[in-house]
Copies of this chain bind each other. A is one copy, B any other.
Amino acid sequence: MSSIRFALAQLNPIVGDITGNSLAILEAVRDAHGRGARVIVTPELSVTGYPVEDLASSSDFIRQSEIGVAALATRIAADGFGDAIVVVGFVERATEEEFGGARAHNSLAVLSHGKVVATYAKRHLPTYSVFDEERIFVPGAGTLIMNLGGVATGFLICEDLWRDDGPVSELAEHDLDVVVVINASPFDTAKDETRFPLLHTRALEFRAPVVYVNAVGGQDDLVFDGDSAVLDAEGTVLLRAPLFTPALELIDITGTGFAGDGISLTEPSDTITPSVALDLPDIEATWNALVLGVRDYTLKNGFPSIVLGLSGGIDSAVCATIAADAIGAQRVFGVSMPSQFSSDGSKDDARALATNLGCHYDTHPIAELVEPFERELNLSGLAAENIQARARGMVLMSLSNQHGHLVLSTGNKSEVAVGYSTIYGDSVGGYAPLKDVFKTLVWDLARWRNSVATERGETPPIPENSISKPPSAELRPDQTDQDSLPPYDVLDAILEQLISRRDSIDTVISHGFERSTVERVAGLITGAEWKRRQGAIGPRISRMAFGRERRLPITMRQTPGLG
Task: Point out residues on A near B: beta carbons under 8 Å.
Answer: 14-18, 20, 51-55, 57-61, 64, 99-102, 126-129, 132, 134-135, 162-163, 218-220, 296-297, 300-301, 364, 368-369, 371-373, 376-377, 379, 382-383, 386-387, 390-391, 393-395, 397-399, 401-402, 423-424, 428, 430, 502, 504, 506-507, 530, 533-537, 550-559, 561-563
Contact = CB atoms under 8 A, between A and B. Distances in A.
A232 B376 CA distance: 65
B394 A550 contact: no
Given A55-B553, A127-B135, A387-B394, 17 more contacts: A14-B555, A14-B556, A17-B557, A57-B502, A58-B502, A58-B563, A59-B502, A60-B561, A64-B559, A64-B561, A99-B128, A102-B128, A132-B551, A220-B553, A383-B402, A386-B401, A424-B428
A551 to B, nearest CB: 5
Contact of A552 (B55, B553, B557): B55
A18 B99 contact: no
A125 to B, nearest CB: 9
27 contacts: A14-B555, A14-B557, A16-B553, A16-B557, A17-B556, A18-B559, A53-B553, A54-B552, A60-B504, A60-B561, A60-B562, A99-B162, A127-B127, A127-B132, A220-B553, A296-B555, A300-B555, A364-B377, A368-B376, A377-B402, A383-B401, A390-B393, A390-B397, A391-B394, A393-B424, A533-B537, A534-B535
Given A383-B401, A402-B383, A553-B15, A536 B534 contact: yes
| Copies assembled | 2
A526 to B, nearest CB: 9
A424 B555 contact: no
A70 to B, nearest CB: 16
Contacts of A57: 502
Nearest to A64: B559
Given A502-B59, A552-B55, A553-B53, A562 B64 contact: yes
- With a 10 A CB-CB cut-off, give which of A219, A535, A553 has the most chain B CB atoms: A553
Contacts of A58: 502, 504, 562-563
Contacts of A563: 58, 60
B395 A377 contact: yes
A535 B424 CA distance: 11
Nearest to A129: B100
Contacts of A219: 553, 555
A562 B61 contact: yes
A219 to B, nearest CB: 6
Contacts of A386: 397-398, 401
A369 B163 CA distance: 60
Contacts of A379: 398, 402
B552 A424 contact: no
Nearest to A20: B557
Nearest to A371: B372
A394 B402 contact: no
Contacts of A16: 553, 556-559, 562
A206 to B, nearest CB: 20
A377 B17 CA distance: 37
A101 B127 contact: no
Contacts of A552: 53-55
Given A533-B537, A559-B17, A562-B64, A398 B373 contact: yes
Nearest to A553: B15
A368 B428 CA distance: 23
Nearest to A13: B557
A373 B364 CA distance: 10
Contacts of A555: 14-15, 218-220, 296-297, 300-301
- With a 10 A CB-CB cut-off, give which of A14, A60, A296, A535 has the most chain B CB atoms: A60
Nearest to A394: B390
A532 to B, nearest CB: 11
Contacts of A129: 100-101
A127 B125 CA distance: 12
A388 to B, nearest CB: 11
Given A424-B393, A534-B536, A562-B58, A99 B163 contact: yes
